[in-house]
Chain A
Amino acid sequence: KNQVEQSPQSLIILEGKNCTLQCNYTVSPFSNLRWYKQDTGRGPVSLTIMTFSENTKSNGRYTATLDADTKQSSLHITASQLSDSASYICVVSAKPYKYIFGTGTRLKVLA
């Protein structure tokens, strides 16, 4: 069964601190893996996308890693800001185009 699991479910950090979110998946056939940021009451916005052959991708203060052997990915947020408070969703794309959504990590950044 295709599944994407994320941890932790929720996380509270202080502004300026770093954090790492985890994603484990069992999806076949694997096409690519995305991280999305979803603000409350809004649609998801893409942060990074990685294919099988890529093991790291950065987008500003966001850095995603992918280990296709262990089927794990992480999203590292550097120097967090209040505006980083949101849900972060790991999405694995199964060929040809079906998205398998993770349960998300709710991040709260406190001043």
Chain B
Amino acid sequence: GAVVSQHPSWVICKSGTSVKIECRSLDFQATTMFWYRQFPKQSLMLMATSNEGSKATYEQGVEKDKFLINHASLTLSTLTVTSAHPEDSSFYICSAREPGTNYNEQFFGPGTRLTVL
């Protein structure tokens, strides 16, 4: 159990286009999902916390108008990178928290590799 999927697993796009990444909890309902970004040889950096049915909470320095997050259902959150630029190229990872579990466990997705040309 506790499986989180992401789609797509990788995407290449042209500068200026928008890219949507999906994060799904496959076998549990996630009231809270998290979006992370990871640059090469660095650890995960939290971008935003997404709560179902409400606006996302963004970390300091993360542009909410550039990284649009929608958590429309208990099993799906989406991250849209708007007007992507080469500096947005990174590995994006989501996680989902199943309410009521021990230790406030977050289950991580496999990640999405974004390359902006």
Whether A42 is near chain B, meaning CB under 8 Å from some CB there, is yes
21 CB-based A-B contacts, threshold 8 Å = A31-B104, A32-B103, A36-B108, A41-B113, A43-B6, A43-B95, A43-B108, A43-B110, A43-B111, A45-B108, A49-B103, A51-B103, A89-B43, A89-B44, A96-B104, A97-B32, A99-B46, A101-B43, A101-B45, A103-B42, A104-B43
CA distance A89 to B38 in the complex (A): 13
Q: Which of A31, A43, A101, A106 contacts B103 (CB 8 A)?
A: A31
Given A31-B103, A41-B113, A43-B93: A101 in contact with B44 (beta carbons within 8 A): yes
Given the interface contacts A42-B110, A43-B110, A43-B111, does A97 sit within 8 Å of B104 by beta carbon?
A: yes
Binding site for B on A (CB under 8 A): 31-32, 36, 41-46, 49, 51, 89, 93, 96-99, 101-104, 106
Q: Name which residue of chain A comes closest to B110, CB basis.
A: A43
Instruction: Digitize B24-58: 1 where CB-to-A-CB distance is under 8 Å, 0 elsewhere.
Output: 00000000101000000111111000000000000
**How far is A42 from B4 in the complex, measured between Cα atoms in Å?**
12
Task: Please measure, in the bound complex, the distance between the C-alpha atom of A41 and the C-alpha atom of B110, giving whole angstroms.
Answer: 8
Number of interface residues of B (CB under 8 A): 23
| Residues of A close to B32: CB separation below 8 A | 97
Task: Let me know if A103 and B43 touch, CB within 8 A.
Answer: yes
At the interface, yes or no: B97 with Cβ under 8 Å from chain A? yes
Q: Known contacts A93-B103, A93-B104: does B109 contact A43 (CB below 8 Å)?
A: yes
Residues from chain B with a CB closer than 8 A to the CB of A43 are: 4, 6, 93, 95, 108-111
Chain A residues with Cβ below 8 Å from B110 are 42-43
Interface members, chain B 91-117 (any A CB < 8 Å) = 91, 93, 95, 97, 103-106, 108-111, 113
Q: What is the CA–CA distance of A102 and B110 in the complex, to the nearest angstrom?
A: 19
Which residues on A sit within 8 Å (CB–CB) of B41? Answer: 106
| B104 contacts across to A, CB distance below 8 A | 31, 93, 96-97
Closest CB of chain B to A66's CB: distance in Å? 13
B2-18 contact mask (Cβ, 8 Å, vs A): 1 or 0: 00101000000000000
B46 touches A97 (CB 8 A): no
State the CA gap A10–B93 with chains docked (Å).
22
